[in-house]
Structure 1
Amino acid sequence: MVKIRLSRGGAKGRPFYHVVVTDQRSKRDGRSIENLGYYNPTAAGKDKRLELNVARVNEWVSKGAQLSDKVAALVKEAGKQQAA
């Protein structure tokens, strides 16, 4: 099954996540099929907290990809940002 989930990057104590499409059997930071954006939980000032290609996420979901819980919340947040 294909999952859309977070892949961790960044330094110790300063996490940075890529939103990726991957096979569920892959490791968390392993091989991915496509990179859909990023999430920076420690963003401050003019740094962007969330950048996400919602159209591609919806396309993958229509093909049967499953969203992780956190990614589902991020997609909802990104949709609100685009509407505003």
Structure 2
Amino acid sequence: MAVRIRLTRKGRKKQPFYRIVVADSEAPRDGKFLDIVGTYNPMSEPATVDIDSEKLQGWISKGAVPSTTVASLIKKQAGAEAAA
């Protein structure tokens, strides 16, 4: 079972809100997942990313691979924390 860290969409039509979840790579986008590690809200100004870094590092150490979008969000949050 390959495990991915990816986005799942929530929210209403034209008002997306995403959860950053750990899921089996073969599960549907909004289907069953193993754990929620954060959220991403592209509608706020500026877009907000909230990630539980302890959970994230725990899943990465177990072999979970972030998607390209989640990897860029992780990098964006790490840059924001370093600047603060």
**TM-score, normalising length from structure 1?**
0.89
Map 1:20-59; keep pairs closer than 5 Å: 20-44=21-45, 49-59=48-58
CA RMSD of aligned residues (A): 1.4
Q: Distance in 2 between matches of 1:72 and 1:54?
A: 13
Q: Distance in 2 between matches of 1:14 and 1:37?
A: 18
**TM-score, normalising length from structure 2?**
0.89
What runs of 5+ residues in structure 2 fail to find an aligned partner?
A: none
Q: Give the % identical residues.
A: 39
What runs of 5+ residues in structure 1 fail to find an aligned partner?
A: none
Question: Is residue 54–residue 75 contact of structure 1 (8 Å, CA) maintained in 2?
Answer: no
How far residue 50 of structure 1 moved from its aligned partner, in angstroms, is 1.2
Deviations along 1:3-45, whole A, 9 cap, x unmatched?
A: 0000001011111000000011111000110001100001137
